[in-house]
Amino acid sequence: MLKTDQIYQALSKVYDPEIPVNLVDLGLIYDVQVDDELVSVKMTLTAVGCPMHSVIYENVRKAIEALDGVSETQVEIVWEPRWSPELISPEGRIALGMV
């Protein structure tokens, strides 16, 4: 049975192509739900109209679907709550030189 932390671990290997920090540490992953073999992810992007929208979406989907036990993936990109730099993890802040 899949666990939520397995999904977060897989997503921590997905990077924003324009920022050298993974999506989890950037604070872009808002919610992960696992229902048997279905994984649903609610996420955002750093900006509306992000030119890498489709690349990031596909990379998230592929990272999840690469896990054993996943038969279906739903990725929803939302704009509320709005992303802000305060959502960046301490590890992400270090990687970005913010501390």
Residue 25 belongs to domain with CATH number: 3.30.300.130
Peptide bond into 20 cis (omega under 30): no
Q: What percent of the chain has pLDDT over 70?
A: 100
pLDDT in tens, 71-87: 999 999 999 999 999 99
Sheet hosting strand 72-77, strand order edge to edge? 29-35, 38-43, 72-77
pLDDT > 90? residue 18: no
- Amino acid in the structure at residue 85: P
How many independent structural domains does the chain possess?
A: 1
What's the rounded Cα separation, in Å, for the pair 26 and 48?
Answer: 16
Domain that holds residue 23: 4-79
Residue 94 lies in a domain: no
pTM exceeds cut of 0.85 = yes
